[in-house]
Amino acid sequence: MNELGALERIREDLDLFVGKTIKIKANRGRKKVFEVEGILEQTYPKVFVVRFQERQVERRISYSYADLLTKAVELTVNNNQIRFNKEIATG
């Protein structure tokens, strides 16, 4: 299976969590990490969107499925980390 198939499989897996509370931990480079808890709002063909509250303001952030595959972004649902690895791509 090629990497495109792996990204599609990740999207299908994330579809199960739409509307649920998730935690995101994203590497922003130079030892900066962004962590937030929000609602997985929607999955699209290339990206997924998370809605969260920040200082009384509702915000949205999007990441690509490749970010999950390369571990630049980690997702946790109900204190269980969701793992996506490259072994999916080599099938």
pTM above 0.75, yes or no: yes
Between 88 and 32, residue with greater pLDDT: 32
Give the pLDDT score at 85.
59
Domain count of the chain?
A: 1
Over residues 65-82, the mean pLDDT reads 85
pLDDT in tens, 10-62: 888 899 899 999 999 998 888 889 999 999 999 999 999 999 998 899 999 99
- Work out the pLDDT band at 4, boundaries 50, 70, 90: low
Name the nearest CA neighbour of 69 among 82, 49, 84, 81: 84
Residue 56: inside a domain: yes
- CA 37 to chain CA centroid, Å, is 12
Residue 85: inside a domain: no
Specify the CATH number for the domain of residue 65: 2.30.30.100
Q: Which domain holds residue 55?
A: 3-80
